[in-house]
Amino acid sequence: MTSKGPHAFGIAGLLCYTVAMPELPDLEVIKEFLQDHIVGQEIAEVEVVRPIVVRNLAGGDFTTRLTGQRVKQVSRRGKFLILALDPGDYLVINPMLAGRLHYAPRGERRLRKTFAVLHLADGMDLRYTDTRTMGKVYLTDDLAKVPGLAELGPEALDPALTLDVFRERLRRYRGEIKGILTTQSFAAGIGNAYADEICWRAGVYPFRKRPKLSDEEIERLYQAMREVLSEAVVTLREQVGADIHVEIRDFLKVHGRGGQPCPRCGTTISEIKARQRLTNFCRQCQPGSLITGGV
């Protein structure tokens, strides 16, 4: 039985720090689902409920321009989903903190905060919901126009991002390792939750400054990054199904598990709010101190 995490219907404001941001594994599985279900479909009608979530970088009227285009391909780049359209535009979705896609028959009840709807020719809807109104849906004729897309570093799971390349890229940064892992220009796709998982798997304190990391710790971080993300894709692929609006996080080892025992050593998992976000880690497996005394 699939169990869904508690974050799926997060109430804006109240669950400020528990709303889970879609990251590489979540979006990779959503991409695969959409490839199977909407490629070839014509966008028969477009409804924009909250214009603030859409940005038209292509010119003309958003709705008019999008209507009648056909979905040619679905791809993912970092935390962006890209729908290539025929005759030639792109619809780019950047969910940020709380954006979700909901795939449902046209007559099915909408989720709260459904702000934009593509009615597909086969009677299905692709809906964009966003409890925080921070994400964006861009219509563009040129991907280079989409803010943040061109600046992305290599995909975190790209085979070309070898250990040597990872090490080399890390040298450009002097901050805390968790902050670097979530910097999209360093490597694309990792957010708050999976950065915690990677640091825990590597046994590295998330607030360690990069210059303090040993070669061996960097190698452990690299291996942990590849394992955590690729394992999550496999797990989510089995669990998500058509419920692409539901974020499943119950298989994570430390993130969102403050106060519970560490699965490796049994120590109570720490939870601290730092840098405007929640971080979970094990003080036993990931020793370190927040007071670093500078770089």
Compare residues 55 and 257 and give the one whose CB is closer to Zn ion. Answer: 257
The count of residues interacting with Zn ion (CB under 5 A) is: 7
Q: Which range binds Zn ion by CB under 5 A, 136-144, 183-191, 226-234, 282-290?
A: 282-290
Compare residues 137 and 262 and give the one whose CB is closer to Zn ion. Answer: 262
**Separation CA 160–CA 156 (nearest Å):** 10
Angle at 44 between CA 42 and CA 46, to 5 degrees: 120
Stretch 236-265: interaction string toward Zn ion, x if CB under 5 A? --------------------------x-xx
- Interface with Zn ion includes 284 (CB under 5 A)? yes
Compare residues 91 and 282 and give the one whose CB is closer to Zn ion. Answer: 282
Q: Which residues are catalytic?
A: 22-23, 79, 277
Compare residues 230 and 284 and give the one whose CB is closer to Zn ion. Answer: 284
DSSP-assigned beta bridge partners for residue 167 = none
Instruction: Provide the b/e sequence for 71-102 (b: ≥16 CB within 10 Å).
Output: beebebbbbbbbbbbeeebbbbbbbbbbbbbb
Q: In whole angstroms, how close is the CB of 201 to Zn ion at the nearest point?
A: 11
- Interface with Zn ion includes 283 (CB under 5 A)? no
Q: In whole angstroms, how close is the CB of 199 to Zn ion at the nearest point?
A: 12
- Interface with Zn ion includes 223 (CB under 5 A)? no
- Interface with Zn ion includes 268 (CB under 5 A)? no
Q: Quick one: residue 203, left, alpha or beta (phi over 0 = left, psi -120 to 50 = alpha)?
A: left
Distances (CA, A) of 206 to 23, 86, 132: 18, 44, 26
**Separation CA 97–CA 90 (nearest Å):** 22
Instruction: Provide the b/e sequence for 120-136 (b: ≥16 CB within 10 Å).
Output: beeebbbbbbbbbbbbb
- Interface with Zn ion includes 199 (CB under 5 A)? no
- Interface with Zn ion includes 35 (CB under 5 A)? no
- Interface with Zn ion includes 146 (CB under 5 A)? no
Q: In whole angstroms, how close is the CB of 106 to Zn ion at the nearest point?
A: 49
Binding residues for Zn ion, rule: CB under 5 A, are 262, 264-265, 267, 282, 284-285
